């Protein structure tokens, strides 16, 4: 298995889940994502190297390299869409890779932020309300149109991830737990009744592998099936931390780009997959405990 983005939050969880299932994960040096010429060259080299180490075994390639977000500025030529096009070109030029499964990790909230009539599922027409979501839709379409004739293409739309991570705090729950541990105030930019599906990152990785195995050429919606409001999440973190989470409500230009109701109906509920998601309270406890018990996550690190 070759995981693009295996050094990131979700990519590293996918790599760990694959290793636990005795799948050989292709190791490689860091890709220079922000240097278009070097990036394209590195992807071509890695595609060839991967085909050399997996010449006969069924291969899986997972694109989990996205690091953009709503309202985030991009450098010219360095968007995820640009990088994905280089990736598509790289693997398309390696004959031995054809027939492999290519799983494209997308954003459920990004591509369905403007969709109607929640809860949303794999049949919901996509409708983005911001550039982030539009790029995700473009990546999905590019993957299907340019790869499906030679590869088995799986589109995996993932809901809101949370869980232990040594890098910058990503997502509401990680930031709330950090605020509770550090006692530093956190600004919230959406109403407290905003609803999301939150899934523990290792659960999402396990579920992704299950979905790919069940149908390599499908669309999947990776989520817990437990839809919670921001207010409920704050209360859960406060209960687990046994302290009030210091928050302030704020309004920024990106606030209208955050849809209020993103209830989801994950595909595993209908596909009979053997999967039981971690309850929110249990996942929050694991995350908070990791923040307050690991010595290297000191005050300065928590606020990164």
**Cα 172–chain centre separation:** 14
Instruction: Please answer whether residues 113 and 262 qualify as being in contact, where contact means their C-beta atoms are separated by less than 8 angstroms.
Output: yes
Helix (H, G, I), strand (E, B) or coil at 122: coil
Give the H or E element holding residue 136. Answer: helix 131-147
Count CB-CB contacts under 10 A for residue 229: 17
Predicted pLDDT of residue 67: 61
Predicted pLDDT of residue 284: 97
Which DSSP symbol is given to 243? S
Give the H or E element holding residue 197. Answer: strand 195-200
The CB-based long-range contact list for 93-96 (8 Å cut-off, 24+ gap) reads 93/44, 93/47, 94/47, 94/48, 94/51, 96/51, 96/55
Instruction: Please answer whether residues 255 and 188 qualify as being in contact, where contact means their C-beta atoms are separated by less than 8 angstroms.
Output: no
Predicted pLDDT of residue 257: 65
Q: Which two tokens stand for residue 279?
A: 């309850």
Predicted pLDDT of residue 302: 39
Predicted pLDDT of residue 256: 62
Q: Which two tokens stand for residue 275?
A: 């999967």
Q: Parallel, antiparallel, or unpaired: how do β-strands 227-229 and 195-200 relate?
A: antiparallel
User: Which residues does residue 103 pair with via DSSP β-bridges, in sequence order?
Assistant: 62, 154
User: In the chain, how long is the greatest CA-to-CA distance?
Assistant: 57
Ordered structural domains, the chain, with CATH:
2-302 (3.40.50.720)
Predicted pLDDT of residue 229: 97
Predicted pLDDT of residue 54: 86
Predicted pLDDT of residue 55: 75
Whole-Å CA distances, 42 to 7, 82, 240, 304 = 16, 14, 44, 29
With the C-alpha atoms ordered 202, 204, 207, 208, is the resulting torsion angle positive or negative? negative
pTM across the whole model:
0.91
Predicted pLDDT of residue 69: 47
Whole-Å CA distances, 114 to 54, 79, 220 = 41, 22, 19
Which DSSP symbol is given to 220? E
Instruction: Please answer whether residues 195 and 210 qualify as being in contact, where contact means their C-beta atoms are separated by less than 8 angstroms.
Output: no
Helix (H, G, I), strand (E, B) or coil at 227: strand
CA distance 71 to 131: 8
Instruction: Please answer whether residues 199 and 159 qualify as being in contact, where contact means their C-beta atoms are separated by less than 8 angstroms.
Output: yes
User: Which residues does residue 172 pair with via DSSP β-bridges, in sequence order?
Assistant: none
CA distance 17 to 2: 13
Mean pLDDT by 10 residues, the chain (304 residues): 95 97 93 94 97 86 76 62 97 95 97 96 96 95 98 98 88 94 90 96 98 97 97 97 90 67 97 95 96 58 35
List the one residue out of 261, 219, 222, 259 whose CA is nearest residue 119: 261
Residue 284's contacts (CB-CB under 8 Å, 6 or more residues apart) are 162, 173, 177, 233, 236, 237, 240
Predicted pLDDT of residue 78: 77
């Amino acid at each position: 298995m070759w995981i693009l983005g295996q050094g990131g939050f979700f990519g590293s969880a996918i790599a760990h889940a694959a290793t636990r299932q005795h799948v050989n994960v292709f190791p490689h040096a860091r890709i220079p994502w922000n240097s278009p010429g070097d990036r394209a060259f590195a992807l071509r080299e890695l595609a060839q190297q991967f085909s050399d180490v997996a010449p006969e075994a069924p291969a899986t390639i997972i694109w989990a390299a996205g690091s953009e977000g709503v309202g985030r500025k991009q450098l010219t030529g360095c968007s995820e869409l640009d990088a994905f096009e280089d990736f598509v070109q790289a693997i398309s030029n390696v004959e031995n890779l054809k027939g492999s499964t290519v799983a494209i990790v997308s954003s459920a909230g990004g591509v369905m932020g403007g969709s109607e009539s929640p809860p949303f599922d794999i049949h919901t027409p996509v409708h983005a309300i911001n550039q982030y979501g539009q790029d995700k839709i473009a990546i999905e379409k590019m993957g299907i149109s340019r790869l499906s004739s030679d590869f088995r293409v799986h589109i995996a739309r993932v809901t809101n991830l949370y869980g232990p991570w040594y890098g910058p705090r990503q997502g509401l729950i990680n930031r709330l737990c950090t605020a509770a541990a550090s006692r530093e105030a956190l600004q919230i930019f959406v109403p407290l009744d905003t609803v999301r599906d939150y899934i523990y990152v290792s659960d999402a990785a396990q579920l992704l592998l299950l979905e790919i195995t069940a149908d390599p050429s499908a669309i999947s919606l990776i989520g817990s099936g437990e839809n919670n409001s921001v207010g409920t999440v704050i209360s859960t973190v406060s209960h687990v931390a046994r302290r009030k989470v210091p928050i302030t409500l704020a309004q920024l230009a990106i606030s209208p780009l955050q849809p209020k109701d993103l209830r989801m109906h994950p595909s595993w509920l209908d596909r009979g997959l053997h999967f039981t998601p971690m309850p929110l309270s249990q996942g929050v406890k694991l995350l908070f405990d990791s923040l307050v018990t690991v010595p290297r996550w000191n005050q300065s690190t928590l606020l990164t």
